Amino acid sequence: MLEKRYEPKDIEKKWYDFWIEKDYFRAESKSDRPPYCIVIPPPNVTGSLHIGHALDITLQDVMIRWKRMSGFNTLWLPGTDHAGIATQNVVEKELQRQGADRHALGREKFIEKVWEWKKLYGGTIINQLKSIGASCDWSRERFTLDEGLSRAVKEVFVRLYEEGLIYRGEYLINWCPRCHTALSDLEVEHEDKQGKLYYIKYNFIDGEGHITVATTRPETYLGDTAVAVNPEDERYKHLIGKMVRLPIINREIPIIADEFVDSSFGTGAVKVTPAHDPNDFEMGKRHNLQFINILTGDGRMSEEAGPYKGQDRFECRKNVLKDLADIGHLEKVTDHAMAIGHCYRCKTIVEPYLSKQWFVKIKPLAEEAIRAVKDGQVKIIPIGWENSYFDWMENIKDWCISRQIWWGHRIPVWYCEGCGEVIVSRDTPLECKCGSRELRQDEDVLDTWFSSALWPFSTLGWPDETDDLKTFYPTSVLITGFDILFFWVARMMMMGLKFMKEEPFRHVYIHALIRDAEGQKMSKSKGNVVDPLKMTVKYGTDAFRFTLAAYAAQGRDIKFSEQRVEGYRLFLNKIWNVARFISMNVKEGEEITAAIKVKKLSLADRWILSRLSSVISEVHNALEEYRFNDAASALYQFVWHELCDWYVEMIKPELYGDDPGSKRSAINTLVHVFETSLALLHPFMPFISEEIWQNLPFRRGCESLCVREYPSPEDGLEDRGAEKKMNVVMDAVTAVRNIRGELNLSPSLELQALIRTSNNAEEILNENIAYLAKLAKTKEIKIGKDIHPPHNSASAIKPEMEIFVPLEGLFDIDAEIGRLNKEKNKIEEDMEFVRKKLSNENFISKAPASVVEANKTKYNEYQEKLRSIQDNIDKINKWRKSDE
């Protein structure tokens, strides 16, 4: 017997442990069963579960559990990401609190510290995944810095280098002065801001006059090595080749001509700072200009900044502006909208910075990745994301992969101190070919995303040709948020195609971002984050998971509202209670046969089985297309409103009655439908479904719901006839209830019902009169073609029948007339609408015949209904007169 209330906490742990103990989540390296594989988007090892993970994990778990139950050899491969910059930042802060810093500690000691930290806290998020029910194969858990994955990283690096797809060079990269490292273009977040445009005067060195340049970054004038104008610009043509002198520092630089310059912007003359601006960098190359680096790695002014040396870059800007103004070289300042790049890890403003870095030549890789999607080998769902994908891939630029931090995959490159040879190697080399043993490994580590790009095959054992790799690559689907479409998905596509010659996944399902109830992005600083673990404690994990699935409509962000979780918790409560109801009606130890003998079933039985059959199809189709919300709401609708509200109520007379045969038949069907529903629900709410399943006397030839076969759409129990008949019964019931409700009659009051029907409906109603009695709370039901209602009857019109409820003594004539008039008005409006259509010759001639026919039928029905209502109104008026 189930407890009166569902208490999620203990139950969740109990069943999760049970599943683990039974090893249900373990995949087979070799199997006759078809493979189904998802690799988890590895959360940062420093992280803790946020609501975005919860959504991501829930959707993956739904797919995995569904496929597992459907007989697939299912692998959900879990793991974590070493998250270079983020993790290093966390440990550095920790050190800071202890009054230390990594430089004092030294590289090796520092890395030891990070590993220690990882051992202590790295399991946090994994345990949180378990707590929300993730059915991952934990025996295959991976970490991006594992031995095996590190080997894959080196292998990829070396091969790309050997093919000329990795190179080293001095370029302008994005530099974070706080993290002290290069960043890829993607790792820079642009933020629109209202800034200023400063107009600065540069004097000609010979004679009078000046040229004015406009800039958003006045302090960089210290690194200017030219002024550029458009060669076609009549205003400046004659000045090309002249020299100007930079104020204060007195450097002499030329005025040059370059097509790049937009004459309409600012003054049409641009200061050129090749070491501090991407465009100027290109211009500097074109014109052989000097590259002067005025900054240091921590964002301060370098030696080259002369009097400003040592100042912070923003401090320097203020000072430069003041000094220029003082000597009359600041012509004017205007407002200017611009976008400023920030470090995606620490939000510091990034700096275009000249330095030597490693790059991946990415175009050749991107071409394959574009083709795979164009050719349909990989399907992106929803399809709208394909455009973004193509757009990014087609305009891709070389990927800066070196990072000046310590935590990560060290670049497998050594430099010979003897001859300067560059050695790129899978293994640590001991000696250069020149004989020198003085080898120094590159100090940099690789972009974390470099290793996660290999995730779908490195985790399966690559570069070895393992059974796992053969069985599970390409994986079935990747489920993730759009925020890492480029960072991760795109790069996995490129690397997968390059090294496996096959796409890493067949489908990519991109889900939405979760925002707060007001549509704001959740962030710690705004204080509007929803802690998923708090949700699971408060409402139970299942209710929370079901909510997330129900929210997951394609192509729209989720505005998360706790109220909705509350609502689904009530749904679980409903399920719990119907389970209790069943357990009360099944004798202890009684075995319920799952087999359904169609011949002996009642109408209600056949109806609910038919409905079950169709909900199975709906769920199946929805999940096939990743319409999680549709699957969830189909189940909600079915279990609550069809199973509980109608079916359970309908069979109560049989259950409480004396006929053991019909009692048994009803309970059999009920148990069958409910057990099947639990199986359908299991991927969404694994805990409560298992708890109930284990406590009811089901016999399915397996010991856990999570390995029970998933209900299949081809069960042959659809029964359109039963559904039609049931609709007649339900119509009658609803009609009586409607009269009761509208006339404010007590639910406990037993009413009489007279139903005037067609032959067809008469038969159906007579056969199922017991349902009417129970559901509409009626007694003395009369059904026939020649029903004449007594004085003071309320009435309702339904297809094929007219229902009267005699109300002598209770009757409120005005209320009933009002009710009928309301109904009449509605019908008249509807009729008018159809009438207009039918009197339109164009409609008759151009619309499909079936549509025209349907409208004609409808019109006739309305007409009849209207006539009946009018009759009833007249009748009441007559009664009223005769009573007066």
What is the residue-wise DSSP string for 431-480? --TTS---EEE-S-EE-HHHHHTTHHHHTTTTTS--HHHHHHPSEEEEEE
**Is the Cβ of residue 161 or residue 399 nearer to RNA in the bound state?**
399
**In the bound complex, what is the minimum distance in angstroms from residue 336's beta carbon to RNA?**
7
**Is the Cβ of residue 558 or residue 603 nearer to RNA in the bound state?**
558
Please select the residue that binds RNA; options are 251, 271, 620, 682, rule is CB under 7 A. 271
**In the bound complex, what is the minimum distance in angstroms from residue 750's beta carbon to RNA?**
11
* Token code pair at residue 8: 């999620």
Q: Segment near RNA (CB under 7 A), from 373-381, 568-576, 682-690, 798-806?
A: 568-576
Closest to 183 in 3D by CA, of 87, 283, 280, 84: 84
Please select the residue that binds RNA; options are 243, 248, 553, 770, rule is CB under 7 A. 553
**Is the Cβ of residue 75 or residue 582 nearer to RNA in the bound state?**
582
Residue ranges in 652-671 that form contacts with RNA under rule CB under 7 A = 652, 656
Name, in order, each residue with C-beta under 8 angstroms of 594's C-beta and a sequence gap of 6 or more: 671, 672, 675, 698, 699, 700
Q: Taking the mean position of all CA atoms in its chain, how far away is CA 649?
A: 38
DSSP 8-class letter at 336: E
**Is the Cβ of residue 204 or residue 581 nearer to RNA in the bound state?**
581
**Is the Cβ of residue 306 or residue 382 nearer to RNA in the bound state?**
382
**Is the Cβ of residue 134 or residue 514 nearer to RNA in the bound state?**
514
* Cα gap 663→656, rounded to integer Å: 8
**Sign of the alpha-carbon torsion through 622, 623, 625, 626:** positive
**In the bound complex, what is the minimum distance in angstroms from residue 484's beta carbon to RNA?**
10
* Token code pair at residue 641: 């409103």
Please select the residue that binds RNA; options are 291, 415, 843, 879, rule is CB under 7 A. 843
Please select the residue that binds RNA; options are 91, 270, 343, 765, rule is CB under 7 A. 270
* Cα gap 268→736, rounded to integer Å: 83
**Is the Cβ of residue 25 or residue 684 nearer to RNA in the bound state?**
684
CB 635 within 8 A of CB 681: yes
Q: Is 592 in the site for RNA (CB under 7 A)?
A: no
**In the bound complex, what is the minimum distance in angstroms from residue 876's beta carbon to RNA?**
19
Amino acid letter for position 453: A
Q: Is 840 in the site for RNA (CB under 7 A)?
A: yes
Q: Segment near RNA (CB under 7 A), from 420-428, 442-450, 743-751, 760-768?
A: 743-751
**Is the Cβ of residue 216 or residue 870 nearer to RNA in the bound state?**
216
Q: Which helix (H) or strand (E) holds 407?
A: none
- CA separation (Å) from 645 to 558, 667, 722? 30, 16, 18
**In the bound complex, what is the minimum distance in angstroms from residue 637's beta carbon to RNA?**
7
In three-state form (DSSP H/G/I as H, E/B as E, the rest C), the secondary structure along 35-81 is EEEEECCCCECCCCCCHHHHHHHHHHHHHHHHHHHCCCEEEEECEEE
Please select the residue that binds RNA; options are 288, 563, 759, 839, rule is CB under 7 A. 563
Closest to 805 in 3D by CA, of 782, 824, 774: 782
Please select the residue that binds RNA; options are 98, 194, 744, 882, rule is CB under 7 A. 744
Please select the residue that binds RNA; options are 48, 573, 662, 695, rule is CB under 7 A. 573
- CA separation (Å) from 57 to 39, 40, 473, 504? 11, 8, 21, 19
**Is the Cβ of residue 717 or residue 732 nearer to RNA in the bound state?**
732
* Token code pair at residue 182: 């290069």
Q: Is 261 in the site for RNA (CB under 7 A)?
A: yes
Q: Is 325 in the site for RNA (CB under 7 A)?
A: no
Burial 398-408 (b: 16+ CB within 10 A, else e): bbbbbbbbbbb
Q: Is 279 in the site for RNA (CB under 7 A)?
A: yes
Q: Is 773 in the site for RNA (CB under 7 A)?
A: no
**In the bound complex, what is the minimum distance in angstroms from residue 476's beta carbon to RNA?**
23
CB 470 within 8 A of CB 454: no
Please select the residue that binds RNA; options are 265, 597, 790, 818, rule is CB under 7 A. 265
Residue ranges in 191-210 that form contacts with RNA under rule CB under 7 A = 192
Q: What are phi and psi of 123, to 5 degrees?
A: -85, -10
Name, in order, each residue with C-beta under 8 angstroms of 81's C-beta and a sequence gap of 6 or more: 42, 43, 44, 45, 143, 144, 448, 451, 452
Q: Is 345 in the site for RNA (CB under 7 A)?
A: no
Residue ranges in 430-489 that form contacts with RNA under rule CB under 7 A = 483, 486
In three-state form (DSSP H/G/I as H, E/B as E, the rest C), the secondary structure along 749-805 is CCEEEEEEECHHHHHHHHHCHHHHHHHCCEEEEEEECCCCCCCCEEEEEECCEEEEE
Q: Is 581 in the site for RNA (CB under 7 A)?
A: yes
Residue ranges in 611-640 that form contacts with RNA under rule CB under 7 A = 629-630, 633, 637, 640
Q: Is 367 in the site for RNA (CB under 7 A)?
A: no
Q: How far apart are the first and last CA of the chain?
A: 61
Total residues contacting RNA by CB under 7 A comes to: 96
**In the bound complex, what is the minimum distance in angstroms from residue 657's beta carbon to RNA?**
12
**In the bound complex, what is the minimum distance in angstroms from residue 542's beta carbon to RNA?**
13
Per-residue contact string for residues 716-735; x = within reach of RNA by CB under 7 A: ------------------x-
**In the bound complex, what is the minimum distance in angstroms from residue 228's beta carbon to RNA?**
8
Q: Segment near RNA (CB under 7 A), from 51-59, 269-277, 302-310, 318-326?
A: 269-277
Q: Is 344 in the site for RNA (CB under 7 A)?
A: no
Q: Is 256 in the site for RNA (CB under 7 A)?
A: no
* Cα gap 295→308, rounded to integer Å: 11
Please select the residue that binds RNA; options are 104, 205, 325, 339, rule is CB under 7 A. 339
DSSP 8-class letter at 210: E
Please select the residue that binds RNA; options are 67, 300, 329, 740, rule is CB under 7 A. 740
| Residue carrying the six token digits 């080997």 | 151
Q: Is 831 in the site for RNA (CB under 7 A)?
A: yes
Residue ranges in 22-61 that form contacts with RNA under rule CB under 7 A = none
Closest to 482 in 3D by CA, of 378, 557, 373: 557
Please select the residue that binds RNA; options are 96, 387, 523, 712, rule is CB under 7 A. 387
Q: Segment near RNA (CB under 7 A), from 29-37, 300-308, 492-500, 841-849?
A: 841-849
Please select the residue that binds RNA; options are 41, 42, 78, 266, rule is CB under 7 A. 266
Alpha carbon dihedral 65, 66, 72, 77, in 10-degree steps, equals -40
